[in-house]
Structure 1
Amino acid sequence: MQRLTWPGTNWQESVTQTIADYYQLTKPRLILLFLITTAAAMWVAAKGQVDGVLVLATLTGGALAAGSANTINCLYDRDIDYVMERTRHRPLPSGRIQPWQALVFAIALAIISFTLLATVANLLSACLAMSGIAAYFFVYTAWLKRSSTQNIVIGGAAGAIPPLVGWAAVTGDLSLAAWAMFAIVFVWTPPHFWPLAMMIQEDYAKVGVPMMPVVDGDDSTAKQMMFYTVLLVPTSLLLVYPLHASGGVYGAIALVLGGMFIQKVWQLNQSPADKTMARSVFKFSILYMMLLCAGMGLDSLPLTQNLVAQGSQVLQMLVLGA
């Protein structure tokens, strides 16, 4: 007996696959971290009292801008993506999406992002989001990625723009605290990305991309990671002193997380060629940024500030009473 099929089944599967392909072009896992840093900046800027509509619009606009930048990255890198086993089956190198379609998609995302941010937030946040797209493509993807071992260091500035977008959306300007958050993400990027590069350096070597582990080796890369990880601790504390944008709760969280990050990278330095250890550092770097941003948000809440103030008063009374 012939099996009956629903007339629209193949068409529905095709549409679903196409949607999934376009979604994959935006690299959604990368976008999540960008949104976390954006949200943290908004919470700190607004002292824990952010308008819900503004948050939704800013995060949506930021996600669209990041998706546009990632799509352009996929479009430009489709030649090397075809060679690397890890990326060969992406929508562009596999031929499921044509280059012109990806370009139109990226432009559409950028236009919607700019319009949304300029309308609901302000022009500064919209322009910053567009500058992030430009920096990611022109500085990192087209210029540095295939020409310098410092590609991820200098190019990391593009990934540090989302906190500026969040801060500008709330305040309409960029204070020193906003730039401190930019610096945190900027310094965090090398010890976050280089472990991944250590894990897949054979792929990068195959296509001639001069990532640090490929050119300078695992040992040198691990040592440079330690430099940036140690530098990250005082950088993360700038929000506490001298800027006073965050308080003791965030400061304590930053110190603990920074110590754990240094320990992880120190362990990698003992066995730089250990891919399992590199994977562990990479995963922890993601957790570090998520928890650090959560610490910023927690510290900014009025409830937290009130509890800290009350605790300080009780401590003073105990000290004076003694």
Structure 2
Amino acid sequence: MFDHDVLTDLLHPLHLTSVFHSRWVVRGPWNVQGDDDECAVLHYVLRNRCFVTIDGKPPIVLHEGDLAVFPYGTAHTLGDGSTEPTQPLESVLTHRRLGSSATIRLGTEGETTELMCASVHYDPAGEPPLYRSLPAVIVLDRHMLAQEPLLTRTLECLVPETERAGPGSQLIALRAFEMVFVLALRVALQNRTTDNPALHALIHPGISKALSAIYTDFEQPWSLHTLARRAGMSRSTFAKTFRDLVGEGPAQHLTRRRMREAVRLLTDTSTPLSAIPQLVGYQSTVGFHLAFRKTIGDTPGSYRQRKHRQPRHGTRTEAMAATS
């Protein structure tokens, strides 16, 4: 469909690291509220149906065989559609250790609903600039899944596989849920499941080429002119279309991609400070320092010293500044 793979370019920096998965066997009435999470969340309905509510919006009905994907773990309520008071997820899942699993049983009345759920964790510092512009939830109904044999078979095989315990179980579960996550996003792109500007940007014949260049060749001296030429569009049309679909101009998007890489180099490597500007596309050290301070709110040297004194999980706030 495409002569380049912008979805791979978008997802490659995420570095999915671990998964917690659970099997839910519930009867009404039930409603469970989850908070914003630092992961991708998947809900696959195995039996009956359930309702998903986000931020007070009308509920989304998930029927048997439907899959819902929350790319960045947006807070939502999962339930049977009743007016039963919600329980916080923490009271239902008191211990969620990464790499483990659980079975949840709730309620004693009415029909039984069964779900397979997963939280697929990634390094938040790896979120590309466009990632949080994706839809908060992507729903693929059973009819759409029926046209995707690889995704369907992976989901079907996951059910018995997640109930096994043996050598390699954690890695197998992570890779299987990772495949479901990527395949679901691909289906959403190919079928345009929602009128979301970011999804349209990823499939736009010109803008997607520019995004691939920004994500994979950010160290190159891109300008509005060269990015427009890569997109095969006039500068004015390219600039307007890019802003309409991506939500910001090409220069700002490129800067945030470069800052994300700078944060990674400062946090995870011992690359000399003097080498980082050129590695992320700046010929001028002064220009790099100004851009870094404006985006992150600190100098590169001070940022590195502070991060190396903190636990790795303490980097989320500053890392997100480069991608939000």
Give the TM-score category using the shorter length: 0.3 to 0.5
Relative to its length, the structure with more strand (as a share) is: 2
Q: Which protein is richer in helix relative to its size?
A: 1
Structure 2 length as normaliser, TM-score? 0.33
